[in-house]
Amino acid sequence: MAIQILMPALSPTMEEGTLAKWHVAEGDTVESGAILAEIETDKATMEFEAVDEGVIGKILVPEGSEGVKVNTAIAVLLEEGEDTSAAEAIASVPTSAPSKPVAAAPETAPPAPVAASAPSSGARVFATPLARRIAADRGIDLATIAGSGPHGRIIKADVENANATAPAAAPKPAPLASSATAESIKAMYQDREYEEISLNGMRKTIAARLTEAKQTIPHFYLRRSVHLDKLMQLRAQLNEGLAESGVKISVNDFIIKASARALQDIPAANVVWAEDRLLQLTPSDVAVAVAIEGGLFTPVLRDSDTKSLSALSAEMKDLAGRARDRKLAPHEYQGGSFAISNLGMMGIENFDAVINPPHGSILAVGAGVKKPVIADDGSVQTAIVMSMTLSVDHRAIDGALGAEFLARIAFYLENPLAMLA
């Protein structure tokens, strides 16, 4: 029976995407797990796998097509022996009620699971290849799981949360009314020369999320400076010892480690806001902002408190490199309770960062600058001073708690051997 292949939702925010490249052509035979196409989302270019086997009967959306809506039919898959007339017939069927999906969405954190009864014994269960592997490893019967993917397909998160209930998703804030429109703004500059630049998916997502953050999160800011002389001396010694391995630890790696240890020391600050409750995380999952062309990613270094500086350095370089190539999977830039935004390497001495919801806080890090300081004996000396600003969600973290958390980060940065103990 011919079935439609639908444009998948490859991220929680995706409403449309670009069909960048087909890896199959009409008449090709495909197997389950084969790569069908590459899809550009608002965050990355991702591969799109087949769930069923069959023959590509008709490609409905050519590669390079932009603005393809999620759940739009993009191709038709035929069973062995079916002719192209079946493809023509199924291609005309509205995609709002397709017979069954063909390709697997990537393993993203899903919306609230769709209620569904377990398939009867012997019935085929639709699940992504990764979900099947995880279920097999854990001895979980897929027939007992309600899938939350398109049309009830079981994805990774369904298997991992088989015995857990996810918190309800936060409602999206209503957009603010604006007296200005694109046309009225353009009219202001009608006598000036300008270039009109269309917003790509990433820039639209950044705009929406940061607008949501400033509209709905009551930010407050805590500022503190730290002396980095001991840290810089230790960094030089470590890098000298690691020279043959090719590992080079950065100041940012120390900041990640110090923050991870501080989250363990002040667990009440290791929280995310979940609308009607707080989720206090056990591990230190630290997100780090990475600038890329046209936007930014915040890849998450999970269990940062348990990793060495050299391991954090290697992982951060890998995540940053793949972020710039837009090759991160959604689970690599989603999650965490806390983020770091470091503009010190760009010469910025201090700034305020916007919280990335649902995180409870974000640390803005400036450049380390040599400055005159007053020593304990009253003499004037020089020290490398770095400014930090902690932006805090007041719904989740109060002022005294935020100050305690920032003080703990500062302690580790000024006493770097303590974070290695």
Q: Name, in order, each residue with C-beta under 8 angstroms of 308's C-beta and a sequence gap of 6 or more.
A: none
Q: Which of 23, 227, 331, 394 is catalytic?
A: 394
Give the largest CA-CA distance in the chain.
90
Give the H/E segment covering residue 365. Answer: strand 361-374
Residue 181's φ and ψ, nearest 5 degrees, are -120, 170
If 0-12 CB within 10 Å is exposed, 13-18 middle and 19+ buried, where does residue 67 land? exposed
Query: Could you confirm whether 151 is annotated as catalytic?
Result: no
**Count of other CB atoms within 10 angstroms of residue 238:** 20
What distance lies between CA 250 and its chain's CA centroid? 23
- Radius of gyration of the CA atoms of the chain, in A: 25
Q: Give strand pairing partners of 38.
A: 21, 47
Residue 342's φ and ψ, nearest 5 degrees, are -115, 115
Q: Name, in order, each residue with C-beta under 8 angstroms of 367's C-beta and a sequence gap of 6 or more.
A: 343, 344, 345, 346, 347, 348, 349, 386
Alpha-carbon distance of 51 to 102, in angstroms, equals: 5
Alpha-carbon distance of 211 to 369, in angstroms, equals: 32
Alpha-carbon distance of 38 to 373, in angstroms, equals: 55
Contact (CB, 8 A) for 104 and 77: no
Alpha-carbon distance of 406 to 259, in angstroms, equals: 9
Q: Which amino acid is at 219?
A: H
Alpha-carbon distance of 326 to 40, in angstroms, equals: 9
Residue 216's φ and ψ, nearest 5 degrees, are -110, -20
User: Strands 338-342 and 361-374: what pairing?
Assistant: parallel
Tell me the two tokens of residue 140.
């979980």
Cβ burial 397-406 (10 Å sphere, 16+ → b, else e): beeebbebbb
Give the H/E segment covering residue 36. Answer: strand 35-40
Residues involved in catalysis = 394
